[in-house]
Every structure is written in C-alpha cells, then in structure tokens.
Structure 1
C-alpha cells in the first residue's frame, strides 16, 4: 500500500489529516496535472459521483476545483453506485472517473476511488505517480478556482443499462427484499427490479447523510434475513454503501456464503460453455471448496492477492470473464469493468429463472471445505522467509495436503498480527494442521498473549 492509497483508493475519517477538503483539492489538482501531462493540448474530461454521506458534496467540490485548475471538464453524476461511475467513464469517453465513497465504512468516514479511461481501477504504479504529485501540490485557498461542473444523470444511464439485461416484466410474481444500506443504490436498484415487475420490500432506503451502513447493508444482514422470512420472499439482496458488492440470502432467510455465490456463477457458466478459458478468478481468501467444485466440472480456479483490482487485472490477463472475492465483489467482465452488486444480483436472478431452481437448491451445488483460522499478535513482523520452523511446517503440510487441503500464512497489513488459515476436507486434519502451524510460529516469533 502507498502513502495515501490503500487496496481500494484513499479512505479515512472525514476531517482528519488524510480525508479533508484540502487533501481532496490537492488530489484533484494532481490528477488534473497528471492527465494534462499525458494528453498534451487535448480537451480533458472527468466524471464524478458519490454516495450519500454528508461529507460527500464538500469533497466533490474540492476535487472539482483541483481538476478545474488544469482545465478538466467535469460531469457531476450526483449520488450513484461506484460501478455507475465506471460505466459513465465509458459512456462519456472520459479520461478519469472518481467515486467519493467509503464503501461499507460508517458515515464519519469517506474516501476516493479512481478509474482510468477504460473504466478500470488505477494500477499501483499510477497511484505512486499521483502520490508524488499530491505532495507537490498546495492546498492554499488563494489558488483555488470556483468549482465548475455540469450535472449529468448518471443514475439514468446505469438503470437503463442494467434493466436491459432481462425482459421487462420477467419477475412478475416475485417478491424480493432489498437492503440498500441507506447508500448509493437507493434509487438505482429498486428502479431496475420494479421495471421487471418484482414486488419489493425495502430496507435502508431513507438516507439522511449520517445513517449509511448504520445497522443495515451487507455488513449487517440480520434484518434482511428476517424480512425474507416474514414476507416469504424469493430472495434477499443487500448492498454495501457504494453498491459495488452484495450479500444474498435464500428464500428461507439463510445467508449464502460469498464463495458459494461465486462458485454457482462459475459452475453454471462452465457447464454452459460461457466461462472463458474454463477459469474462474478468486483471491487467496476464497475457500478451497471453490477449486474442488470447478475442478470436478472440468474447470479451474486462478488465485490472486486480496482486492477486486487484482481480480480484474488477472481476469484481463487470462481473458477470463467471471471472478470475484468472497466479500461479494463479483466481476462479470462481459458486462462491466468492475465489481457491481446489482449486476451480480441480476445474474443470480437470471440463473434462478433459467434453472427454475430456488437459491436454497442452487447453493447446495457448492460445498465449502471446513476451515479454521488463528490470529497471533507478534512483537515483530519478521519476514516469513527468514524464519526456520514455520516455513518447514508449511512445506510439510502442503506436501501432505496435495489438492485436498490448503493453508495460508500471512501478516496483517494493518495490525501486528500473523494470520493462520487451514482448510481441508477432514475437520480433524484442519485442527491438527492449525496446531502444528501455531507451534512452529511460536517457536520462531515472539507471540504476545493477551
């Protein structure tokens, strides 16, 4: 991770040293300078959208001021899901797209996500270059022009595109619970499902600037499950604050694991010949049951580091059209350049219609392996390849597992912790292997027991 950019843009508590209007102005100016250097003497265009946080308009204005300083023409999409920003980049032939959002974080936080002219998230190299430019910028009020942007109904573009993926009225007789997290999807997701004729029960659909993700949304799906049971709905769908991922529950009100969802998409695409190169892209966090299910059907899983940007990049390099994370970021690259919670829900409903199977039945086709994890607080995060006993223990276990088990050993990116994960078909093997890893880790590292 860089000085400002994390795994998914810049994020922090609004008003702190990182997430404030001064920083947003410097980032906007740095971005404008970066674009001007790459496209000399050309007209520069940007699109910008936000979620429902109270701090959003101030950050948008500051970003626009910074962009305007370098002659960048800005279209303001208003409140739209993050994937709508990526789509608008392509619709408007823009040079950059900006989403002002902190995703599933609480209302006091905010953030900035950037998309390039192809609707893809920036590379680490591009972010590093921007960080250097940000540090060279001044946030003096004297230097700032008046913010000038042009309104554009980004929600309408997005709604029309998503609703075109299935026939009008195709969900007549369906009852669906939507939890909109009081966030960016409050207008878009209901509009799409209503066009298909579904009866909707809405949760988290009254944003007030301070209640985004508060007890609702993908991080808090309890109300979703309860509403599905109470209303005898066909499906429950919960978004996060910016709508780039989803959590679903079946008609019985039972949550469906994100890896199961990803596996269902991969398996049915593979069976129908629609999964390009017979490959599904997932992250190192995904369950080994995913690999097992795809392998039995004649496909494979390719793994990358955590982050939907990494998933998308690997998908492009392998020419693969479905990938995602267990958190609910799912990418269908034939239809979108980035993770899209509403699109994933659409593809799930489409699959349920085609197979005529309820989700409670579809989910049984992916069996996840037993998994155990352990976090050890350490005095020092010494490089794993410099340790003695832990690498040997890992090598021994991996040889014993073959394709029937998996282990993951890594340090937390934000805390002084060593994370241990073990998966295997036999839960007793999992328990024994985790104890073996813990013993080796304690022999190599100073572990702080609380």
Structure 2
C-alpha cells in the first residue's frame, strides 16, 4: 500500500500525522469527492467510532471534511465496525467510515472505509483517495466554492438497527436458554450491545470489561488478552467465553475448560457444522498464510478445500467473492460468514459458534477436537523502517537455515505488519521447544537489521 493506507485503513497515533485533525478533515474531503464522483451525486455518509477518547474528535474532523464538499453525514456514535458496514448497505449510504484502531491501544486510532454495499474498498480505490489526501489543495479550493455545505445528523437508532440485523441472521427459534456465557467486551464498541444481545436470546451472561472510559480499550482484555476471561469461565462454570476486540470485528473464544481457541479453531468448528447441514458452499474455506498448519490438516480430513490469501480480512473477502466461498477468516479472529454479512463480525461469529454447540449437543472442547494445533511462536519486532525483506541477506540466510531444520514438519513466515511499525516473525514446528528457539533466533536477526 501507499503512505497512508495499510492492510486495514489508515492507522497511527491519535493527534499525530496522519491521525491528526487536519489530515482527518482532508480524508473526509477526499472520501466525499471520490464517492460523489463515482456515484454522480451528492452523497450520504455514515460515520461510527469505538470508545477511544480520540474517537469523537477524529470522527468530527472527517465529518467536517465531508460536509465541506456539500455532502451530508449521519453519525452512528459508538458502534462496532461491522455495524457500520451493515447499516451503510441497508441505509442507502454512499459509504461508511469507521474511526477505530481495532485491537491497538487507546493512543492509536484509524480510519476504515466501506463501500455503499458494505464491502471494504479495493486497493485501487484506496490509492485514489490517498492521492487526494496527500495532494489536498485542489479539493480545498473546490470546497471554497461550495455555499450549500452538508449537515451532520445523528442516527439515534444505529445500535438497535444493528442488533436487529444480527437477529435476522438467526434461524427461526434460535435460543440460548440454558447456556452460561462470559463476555469480554474489551471496554470497546461491544460494551453496550453484546451483553444485552446474548441476554435477550436467553443466555445467562457475565459481562467483563464493559465499562469504557476512553483509555481502557483493549487494556489487558479482549481478544488480544483473554487470560482473565479464561479464568472467569472456569471459576463461574460457564459453557463458553467470548472475547471481542475494541471495534468488535474479531472473536476469540474460550471453552468450558478454560482453553483459548483462536480463529482457526473457530473456523474449523463452523466449517464442520456448515458442511454437515449442507450450507458450506463449494465445500471451501478461505484463510490467510498465517493460519496454523493444523487448520490445513483438519480441513483436508473433512474433505474441505482451503484457499489462502495474504494477510488482511479484505483480501480474504475478495477471494471468497471470487471463488464463491461463504466461510473465511484469519487466525486473529476476523471471521466472515458471507451468506450473512459483508465483513468480519465478532458477534455474528459468536452466534454461529453457539448455534453449532446447540445443534451438536456437544461442549465446545469436544467440538474443538476437530483440529490439532501445531506448536507456533509469533514474535513482533519493532522496526524503524520497512525495506524489502529479501534485500536483507542475513535474514534471508537465517530463514533458509530455519526452513532446512524444520523440513516438512513446519514453516517460517516473516512479514511486516500493515497497521503497526513492526515485523512479525512466525514459526511452526513439531515441538514447542524447536519452534520457540527458531522464532527467537529469527527475531534477533530482524532486530539487528531493522532497529
């Protein structure tokens, strides 16, 4: 991607370039100009944000930029990212904008975009918008000639409409009666809506980390830090624990024994359930190169084809649309049910996992046995720059040595983060000891080369 857009929108430290108010306003102008031209009309735009203290500030700046181009904005307030996607498509908006940095700490923020159909933008469209942000003078001059500016209104019913959308995805008679859930809302956008949704469906709900204060989002909680959730599930004798991230587009679950299940194992459970009831179209699942080798093996044993993409849920989505698959996602917890939604949705994924449990009459740990996880180690190394990895001779040699040592019983993946100044080093192997040793060795080489 270019200077601004990464694998999931624009990311950075809030109140610093490119997540400062001035750039956010330019982004609003560029977004409105792009979609107004594309759709040949003065557009309507929906904006939502998560619970970060900087959310309303940046959302207001984006909204001001859109209004300066003569277009109207509806503010959805604090709402999960997938809620903006579905409301954008349902409400005849030209685009949806989410101000969020997902699972990152509160000091970060970001700008994510959805087309009017609820799907994320292509690289090409993001490049076009990015060019207008970086060369902002023409749009600024164009806006000065606009006398009839747009207005900002509040969509008061946003959370209710999104909750109803989720309910509409459920089978007739869907009920969670008799189930005890622990729900970790990560002090994020799910804090208001998630506990109530599961309670209304009949579950007994214990809510964790559902009191956002602007700075506690993702802080030692949520999908990135489910340890407290796991302990609570065991202590409370719950059937399952659900962990969302700050904008609730990710899901990590905990079984009744306290074991943490990442996205691959959740997908494996749902793939078998969907295959058994004949809803896994093309008998295919799409994931990324970060998926565990055990996921490949599990799907092969079930007779399900697996396609892999680069890292990023929108690349998974693009392949799903191309190939006709209806289930896909990432090990990080982005899970896409394309026959129900246009983007990854943590709460929707949770509802599907719970449906699989009820239909099978099995515990989550029994369902999770469908996949054996290969030992994996992931180390994130902070970097100052991101030169082409294949230009680093010492790293190239280290990767080759590690791959020779692993043979057919493991793999190595080294890649830059698309949302943070980090290089991710991932190794899978036959034993945890070998895996961790090789991963640390490679991470040390990356640190020597790029810090």
Consecutive unaligned residues of structure 1, counting only runs of 5 or more, are: none
Contact 1:64 1:147 in 2 (8 A): no
Matches within 5 A, 1:235-274: 235-274=240-279
Q: How many residues align?
A: 438
Q: Which residue is 1:189 aligned to?
A: 194
Distance 1:21 1:301, change over 3 A: same
Matched, 1:286 2:291: yes
Contact 1:96 1:117 in 2 (8 A): yes
Matched, 1:154 2:158: yes
Q: Could you tell me how far apart the structure 2 residues matched to 1:30 and 1:10 are? A: 13
Distance 1:116 1:357, change over 3 A: same
Q: Which residue is 1:108 aligned to?
A: 107
CA apart distance, 1:238: 1.1
Contact 1:397 1:433 in 2 (8 A): no
Distance 1:200 1:420, change over 3 A: closer
CA apart distance, 1:49: 0.8
CA apart distance, 1:237: 0.6
Matched, 1:75 2:67: no
Q: Could you tell me how far apart the structure 2 residues matched to 1:34 and 1:159 are? A: 30
Distance 1:374 1:72, change over 3 A: closer
Distance 1:174 1:127, change over 3 A: same
User: Which deviations, in whole Å up to 9, do the C-alpha atoms of 1:212-259 show, x marking residues without a partner?
Assistant: 222322222122112212221111111111000011111122211322
Distance 1:253 1:136, change over 3 A: same
User: Which deviations, in whole Å up to 9, do the C-alpha atoms of 1:16-37 show, x marking residues without a partner?
Assistant: 1211211111000011111222
Consecutive unaligned residues of structure 2, counting only runs of 5 or more, are: none
Q: Which residue is 1:315 aligned to?
A: 320
Distance 1:168 1:432, change over 3 A: closer
The SS at the match of 2:287 is strand
Contact 1:158 1:188 in 2 (8 A): no
Distance 1:72 1:428, change over 3 A: closer
The SS at the match of 1:24 is helix
> TM-score by structure 2 length?
0.87
> TM-score by structure 1 length?
0.87
Distance 1:374 1:109, change over 3 A: closer
User: Which deviations, in whole Å up to 9, do the C-alpha atoms of 1:102-130 show, x marking residues without a partner?
Assistant: 11122222111100122111111111111
The SS at the match of 1:218 is helix
Distance 1:94 1:199, change over 3 A: same
Q: Which residue is 1:180 aligned to?
A: 185
Q: Could you tell me how far apart the structure 2 residues matched to 1:246 and 1:166 are? A: 21
Q: Which residue is 1:222 aligned to?
A: 227
Q: Which residue is 1:132 aligned to?
A: 131
The SS at the match of 1:323 is strand
Q: Which residue is 1:277 aligned to?
A: 282
Matched, 1:12 2:12: yes
Q: Could you tell me how far apart the structure 2 residues matched to 1:446 and 1:205 are? A: 37
The SS at the match of 1:83 is helix
Q: Considering only aligned residues, what root-mean-square deviation do their CA atoms show, in Å? A: 3.3
Matches within 5 A, 1:354-433: 354-372=359-377, 384=390, 401=408, 405-413=409-417, 419=425, 421-423=427-429, 426-427=430-431
Q: Could you tell me how far apart the structure 2 residues matched to 1:432 and 1:186 are? A: 36
Contact 2:13 2:19 in 1 (8 A): yes
CA apart distance, 1:408: 3.0
User: Which deviations, in whole Å up to 9, do the C-alpha atoms of 1:34-78 show, x marking residues without a partner?
Assistant: 1222222x2411111111122222212211111112222222112
Deviates more, 1:2-11 or 1:348-357: 2-11
Matches within 5 A, 1:26-65: 26-40=26-40, 42-65=41-64
Distance 1:16 1:147, change over 3 A: farther
Q: Which residue is 1:199 aligned to?
A: 204
